[in-house]
Structure 1
Amino acid sequence: MEARTFTTLEFNKVIEQLSAKATSSLGREKIEQLTPSTDIAEVKRRQQATQEGCTVYRLKGTVPLGGIRDIRPACARARLGGTLNTAELLDVASTLYAGGRLKGFIAGIAENEPLPLLEELMNQVERLRDLEDQITRAIDENGVVVDSASSALSQVRSQIRGAERRVRERLEQIIRNSNSQKMLQDAIITIRNDRFVIPVKQEYRHAFGGIVHDQSASGATLFIEPGVVVTINNELRELKMKEEREIEKILLALTSSVAEVADALLHNVECLAEADFIFAKAVYAHDVKASEPIINDEGRLNIKKGRHPLIPAGKVVPLDVELGSSYTAIVITGPNTGGKTVTLKTVGLLSMMAMSGLQVPAEHGSEFTIFEGIYADIGDEQSIEQSLSTFSSHMTNISHILRKITHKSLVLFDELGAGTDPTEGAALAMAIIDYVHQRGARIVATTHYSELKAYAYERPEVINASVEFDEQTLRPTYRLLVGIPGRSNAFSIASRLGLPGQILTQARQMVSKEETKIDTMIASLEENQRQAEADRQEAERLRREMEEAKRQVEQQLTEFDENKDRLYQQAEEEARRAVEKARKEANTIIADLRRTAQEERAGIKEHKLIEAQKRLEEANPKLRKKKAKQVNVPVSQQPLEVGDEVRVLSLNQKGEIVDKVGSKEFQVQIGILKINVKSSDLEKLKPSKPQVTHQITKFRSTRDPVRMELDVRGNTVEDAILLIDKYLDEALIGGLNQVSIIHGKGTGALGIGVQKYLKKHRLVKALRYGGQGEGGLGATVVELK
């Protein structure tokens, strides 16, 4: 891109606005170097980085970029063996801390939101926490090397404080002495040339001895270091020199540490500068209400509601421009100050922004292509006195452009052919557009010449456009109307401004009928365009209303699903509580049965079993079952059964089925007659009435007898215990006093485990191995309580 184009299209002003969004000099430096790229892969990468920055800014609102410093000069000096001062070292520590904080910030967002480019950038930032800690432990936030930086420094500063204390004590003795006070200008201790002194009147200069270090402007006061403190001040001076040497050693060691990782620090700086640059673009996009453009390499441009970023939001008029699909050239006509030049600049500037990786102030879905060059011949509107030199200047610039253009160029001509004879200027303008079109470049040109309107109609690759003019207010609306050429508004304006009607009538007669027809046609096109735009806006309003209604319905469905899930959860919780209650009740019932058996020492009576069974049934949760949806089948299509009221079709008589005499034949009673009729000759009228039956539930008065023995052979001890526990409960309910547990001999482990458990069982009164005929050592006889 040529530097002149940047100035003409005011890209440099966009750079100034963008630069104000950066938080560091590093970011501003990258912004100042920003130029459009002609590599589509690079442009897409830039746009993706900007979009990721916008995502972070949208989610968080702010980005922690504070503390980034330009430490490149410090790193270079450290490499050369120089010593960094405390401010430079603190800048290094601040940059390291800022890098670590930003790295963690991006990593946290990337856990839930994909940020591949920012993650890759931040992964390159080395934390270098050891160096940061070394610097911050040695230097405080005010740039002072702290006592704890080294043991030697701590010791020498302790000595300095002791010497200063002794000097002050001696001087305070002097200024508190009543004889000395009359010789002092003020009873204070001050410092001159890094030495403690007292202000003495001129006439008493020899009273204290010592050294005169300074005097007041009038000469009436001398600042004297009394002889009694000269030695201590000398000692203090030596200690401070020693302190300086120790500080120098500390700074030299820290500088050496910086030099060792200078390459990593410089790479960190580059990454942080890029991050600052990306987030500056994101903030700028937010401020100008920009969106991410679609990038292509096919010469296709489609700007939707594009706005010039340098015009205030309240004044800018959005424009729609499409170029490169149906047509490759746009010729814009219209009145002066109508917005033609702004249209040219908007198309060129937004294209440059998109190619630079900036989001553009246009609606989402706007499309931009990659141009190898953008060329503009745009100048201020000239008056009727414009001279040949102005025309020559335009032709010189246009000649330069024509030598440079390729099939991937965008050419912007403002008032093409102006500044010369109208006939020659129009012909020259058409020839230039033809030449540029033949080279395959994209063109947007403005003109006053009416000849170019017909030129655009005759060429399918060229389209007319105009800027709208309101005849009622005599002001342009700045709206671009593509497909409609501009028309002369001279007569309308003159009439509304009071020009006599006779002059207007004569002027209209001088205009050819063809010109009048063209103006009438253009006026009709403009009216149709306005109506179409109104219809489009109404359709857009209806579409938004439908989308809002759809959104509300979807939201209601979502809320319904959420409520349904909540109700299901409540039902499950209630069922769980009911089952838990039933389980507790069952346990209580069983405990009561056991206690009853123990108290009565006999089998449980039948009425008690019935009562327990009733309590168990009452404890079961009653779950309501959803009724199956009934399908209504017409009576005539229902199967025939005995008792159904039917019509005998062949006799047209009603009757009732009393018997089935075959697979497809029934006996039907009609009055007092009974006849056999095939099912195909019957039509069902009413189904038989349901018979009411009474179901009597009879509780079984006797239980299945409980066996006298339980065989647990082949089970583990744990499984055998479970079987035994259940069996003993059943034996107790069944009224048994003695049972046998068959565990077999084997290794003896199962028998030992069973007996060990039975000895502690609440229902076991006594136990022994089986005797002869009882299984011997392979069985255990249990006596129940």
Structure 2
Amino acid sequence: MEKDILEILEFNEIRKKLAELAPSALSKKMALELLPSSVPEVVEKSLQETEEASVLLEREITTPLGETHDILETLKKAEKGSLLSAKECMDLSNSLDTYKKMHHYFEGERHLQYPALEEISSLLVPQETLISRIHQIFDEHGEVKDQASLKLFRIRTQKETVKSRIRRAFQHILEDKDQAAYLQDAIITQRNGRYVVPVKEEYRYKFSGIVHDRSSTGQTLFMEPMVSVELNNDLAEMTAAEKQEIREILEGLMEEIKKTADVTRNNCRLATDMEFIFAKARLALAMKGVKALHSERGVLDLRKARHPLIPEDRVVPVSMTLGKTFRILIITGSNAGGKTIAIKTAGLLSLMNQSGLFIPAEEGSMLPVYDHIYAIIGDEQSIQDNLSTFSSYITQLVSFLPSAGERDLVLLDELGSGTDPVEGAALAQSVTEYLQMKGAPAIITSHFSEMKKLAYETRGIENAFVEFDEKTLAPTYRLIIGVAGNSNAFNICRRFGMPDVILGRAIQLKNESPLHNMEEVMERLNSQSRDMNREKEEVDKTLRQAEELKNSLESARDEFYRRKDSILEKAREEAETMKRDLRVQSEAIIKDLKKNAAAMNRNKLGDKISDIRGKIDGLNVPGKENRREKLPKDQVKKGTWVYIDTIDSEGTIASVSRNQVQVQCGLIQVKVTADHLFKAKKPKKQEKILPYARKKTMTRSVAAVHTELNVIGKTVDEAIPEVDRFLNECFMAGISPVRIIHGKGTGSLRRGVQDYLRTLNFVTEFHEADPSNGGAGVTEVYF
């Protein structure tokens, strides 16, 4: 794609927006150098990557991205054998950690959900050995660790021993009353890497030692006591040995980096690609963009497309088609009505699509992959070449006109303007017919009536106009295809205060024009078109209402069947319970009958049977429960048998703490507030596990449901599974609200937890707790 078209359509501004969203220097550079492709397979692959990254950003809590740096210069330096600085090593280490994270991120089910991204991540090579070695050498502050080598550990251990001996020797001097009088201050300091004490100048010959420095006033000498000279010499030797050992360690690290430089460089390239893809995804989300459908037949179909460089609160969406029943679209209408914006939108969105970017438009928008996009937009006169506007226009036109073909897109703004109107109109018609003959798709703006007439009379060429509101005398910026528009020059002049005498004469001259009747016809057509559009909007509104009513009825039907199934299921469960009760009691009766049958005579047997029948008739079969009454406050105490409305279950109050009540329901302990407690029927002798509790607790024999979860100190990845289990148990038990204690810290854990809460349908609300209850360190969740 030619560079001048990128400037004409302001694609460079899109690249700048993309670079702002790229996380690293390398991905920012990649964004600024982005070029559209004319290969459909490349475009489709790039769009798929953007789509997967967009879905991942909306669906997942974490991303595969991390801290990366431009390590290319670092690798070159290592390959030349130069020692790297601690910062360079740390930047390399952080980048390698991120490459490793990217490689493992798509393992498991994610490789099926994001195949294009997984393909990139699978090519990354986790450099475990090199990562481990760098971590072994450097601590988190970039300092070389004692454990970097056994020799370094021994040297530093011995060095600390010597330092300790030196401190003891100096401490003895400071505590010696005779020598303390020689000292300016009772302190130990260093000069030239050796430990010294400040000695008053007048006692220099009384204090046994070597002078290493003098104060600015000359009153203080910094002297090394003779008793510590040998120790300081030992310390100096060990310091030199330490530096040498560190150098050898770093040289060994450089060799390892050098051996794997090609792998690291390739990992860097792949990671930059991944970062760039996520920058495209973030741009898509920021623009509320969609993936354009690919048209192999060369059809352009933009639905409510928005120019991405116009603020959202000011842009007017435009819909246009090209390539279905016509391949050339001629847009007419008033000045400043949006003609240029319309063709710029078509061109810029085509460039974005062919760069793997989503376009700001509605779902269903379709674009082909063009080989070339040619455009002449605005006043492009060349002062340097001493060309007029018209000459510059023609120079650009002839540069591509012979090569324009069926797989190209031509955008021409005000074709034929800047010269004699008659000649300009003829030239515009001729160029349009030439493009039609070559089958080149084109969008052309014009004010010539001859161009409108050409579109009405020629198959494959269609009119469109930017609407003008004659009541307000202002453009609406809406593009209407199928009808030509008026220039509305007189209305615009009237709006800006042109004298009536001038306007009157202009209207008179216009009426004498041979094309005057055509203007009247177009005005009538425009009026009819507006009426048809209003009727269409009414029909669309009615259809939307009918669709909404249909969806509402379907939802009501689904809810009816759901409730029906729920009632039937509950009835079946109650019947099973009754059946078990009857079986247990009948077995007891039969056992009693067999036990007493032998001892009975025939006369007493009838009496016994009658007695048994009476017992059976007296079996208590539960019926439909009546509406329950609220449990009085004086009965909210330990041992009261209650009904809990949130889980449709009965149980015994185990404990009461303020407004929190713990109830034992079968094998479940539930904490609820007192307003969820109602009067219950008398408890049965043998309490049974409710079907609800049995289903929800699954394999857990005892479930103690708490209202708080503490995840302080955990990472987001570690905390989310615990939060998930905790919320499921609380929701199952009907407890609301509950509290998640995550602490304040950097805020990353709080953001991770709250991002996860947004994905849960059964969470209706969550917010930070009151300052008295933990403030930003606690999130309260409501179901």
Whether these two folds match at TM > 0.5 is: yes
Distance 1:78 1:461 in 2: 64
Aligned to 1:668: none
Once the two structures are superposed, the pairs formed by residues 330-349 of structure 1 within 5 Å of their partners are 330-349=329-348
Displacement of 1:536 after TM fit?
A: 3.0
Aligned to 2:442: 443
Distance 1:603 1:87 in 2: 107
Question: Is 1:243 matched with 2:259?
Answer: no
Against the structure 1 CA distance between its residues 526 and 609, is the aligned structure 2 distance closer, same or farther, given a 3 Å change threshold?
same
Check the 8 A contact 1:415/1:446 in 2, yes or no: yes
What is the total number of aligned residue pairs between the two structures? 621
Q: Secondary structure at the match of 1:525?
A: helix
Taking only the aligned residue pairs, the percentage that are identical comes to 38
Check the 8 A contact 1:581/1:619 in 2, yes or no: no
Displacement of 1:534 after TM fit?
A: 2.7
Question: Is 1:586 matched with 2:594?
Answer: no
Q: Deviations over 1:506-550 (max 9, x none)?
A: 322222254433333333333333333333333333333333333
Check the 8 A contact 1:30/1:277 in 2, yes or no: yes
Aligned to 2:194: 195
RMSD: 3.4
Once the two structures are superposed, the pairs formed by residues 769-784 of structure 1 within 5 Å of their partners are none
The letter for the 2-side match of 1:592 is: D
Q: Deviations over 1:593-619 (max 9, x none)?
A: 343257669999354356546656876
Check the 8 A contact 2:329/2:464 in 1, yes or no: yes
Once the two structures are superposed, the pairs formed by residues 269-668 of structure 1 within 5 Å of their partners are 269-380=268-379, 388-511=387-510, 512-597=512-597, 605-609=605-609, 611-612=611-612, 615=615
Distance 1:322 1:102 in 2: 41
Check the 8 A contact 1:147/1:157 in 2, yes or no: yes
Q: Deviations over 1:274-327 (max 9, x none)?
A: 221221111110100101100123221011111111111011111111111111
Q: Secondary structure at the match of 1:605?
A: helix
Displacement of 1:347 after TM fit?
A: 0.8
Distance 1:346 1:592 in 2: 92
Q: Deviations over 1:156-206 (max 9, x none)?
A: 212222223333444455566677777666554444443334456666666
Against the structure 1 CA distance between its residues 158 and 407, is the aligned structure 2 distance closer, same or farther, given a 3 Å change threshold?
same
Deviates more, 1:465-474 or 1:232-241: 465-474
Q: Secondary structure at the match of 2:465?
A: strand
What TM-score do you get using the length of structure 2 for normalisation?
0.72
Aligned to 1:4: 4
Check the 8 A contact 1:575/1:621 in 2, yes or no: no
Distance 1:328 1:493 in 2: 31
Distance 1:314 1:262 in 2: 50
Against the structure 1 CA distance between its residues 359 and 201, is the aligned structure 2 distance closer, same or farther, given a 3 Å change threshold?
farther
The letter for the 2-side match of 1:585 is: Q
Q: Secondary structure at the match of 1:332?
A: strand
Displacement of 1:350 after TM fit?
A: 0.2
Displacement of 1:570 after TM fit?
A: 1.4
Larger radius of gyration: 1
Aligned to 2:18: 18
Aligned to 2:690: none
Distance 2:401 2:168 in 1: 89
Once the two structures are superposed, the pairs formed by residues 38-77 of structure 1 within 5 Å of their partners are 38-60=38-60, 63-77=63-77
Q: Secondary structure at the match of 1:466?
A: strand
Aligned to 1:732: none
Distance 1:153 1:349 in 2: 61
Distance 1:569 1:324 in 2: 58
Distance 2:219 2:449 in 1: 93
Distance 1:430 1:217 in 2: 92
Displacement of 1:38 after TM fit?
A: 1.4
Against the structure 1 CA distance between its residues 8 and 178, is the aligned structure 2 distance closer, same or farther, given a 3 Å change threshold?
farther
Q: Deviations over 1:15-49 (max 9, x none)?
A: 11111112223322332332111111221111111
Q: Deviations over 1:193-228 (max 9, x none)?
A: 433344566666666565555566676666554544
Q: Secondary structure at the match of 1:148?
A: helix
Distance 2:252 2:295 in 1: 55
Displacement of 1:583 after TM fit?
A: 2.1
Displacement of 1:105 after TM fit?
A: 4.2
Distance 1:207 1:158 in 2: 35
Check the 8 A contact 1:329/1:443 in 2, yes or no: yes
Distance 1:251 1:433 in 2: 70
Aligned to 1:156: 155
Distance 1:378 1:218 in 2: 77
Displacement of 1:367 after TM fit?
A: 0.5
Check the 8 A contact 1:338/1:476 in 2, yes or no: yes
Check the 8 A contact 2:467/2:480 in 1, yes or no: yes
Distance 1:61 1:526 in 2: 52
Against the structure 1 CA distance between its residues 346 and 617, is the aligned structure 2 distance closer, same or farther, given a 3 Å change threshold?
same
Against the structure 1 CA distance between its residues 592 and 81, is the aligned structure 2 distance closer, same or farther, given a 3 Å change threshold?
farther
Aligned to 2:27: 27
Q: Deviations over 1:409-455 (max 9, x none)?
A: 11112222233222222222222222233222111122333332223
Distance 2:438 2:192 in 1: 80
Distance 1:390 1:213 in 2: 81
Against the structure 1 CA distance between its residues 510 and 258, is the aligned structure 2 distance closer, same or farther, given a 3 Å change threshold?
same
Check the 8 A contact 1:329/1:437 in 2, yes or no: yes
Check the 8 A contact 2:335/2:487 in 1, yes or no: no
Q: Secondary structure at the match of 1:159?
A: helix
Q: Secondary structure at the match of 2:320?
A: strand
Distance 1:499 1:10 in 2: 35
Q: Secondary structure at the match of 1:290?
A: coil
Distance 1:601 1:94 in 2: 96
Against the structure 1 CA distance between its residues 166 and 585, is the aligned structure 2 distance closer, same or farther, given a 3 Å change threshold?
same
Once the two structures are superposed, the pairs formed by residues 92-171 of structure 1 within 5 Å of their partners are 92-107=92-107, 110=110, 114-171=113-170
Q: Deviations over 1:645-679 (max 9, x none)?
A: xxxxxxxxxxxxxxxxxxxxxxxxxxxxxxxxxxx
Distance 2:545 2:215 in 1: 85
Deviates more, 1:207-216 or 1:568-577: 207-216
Distance 2:415 2:184 in 1: 86
The letter for the 1-side match of 2:522 is: I
Q: Secondary structure at the match of 2:21?
A: coil
What TM-score do you get using the length of structure 1 for normalisation?
0.71
Q: Secondary structure at the match of 1:299?
A: coil
Distance 1:433 1:212 in 2: 96
Distance 1:313 1:5 in 2: 24
The letter for the 1-side match of 2:338 is: G
Against the structure 1 CA distance between its residues 172 and 360, is the aligned structure 2 distance closer, same or farther, given a 3 Å change threshold?
same
Check the 8 A contact 1:22/1:276 in 2, yes or no: yes
Distance 2:419 2:474 in 1: 27
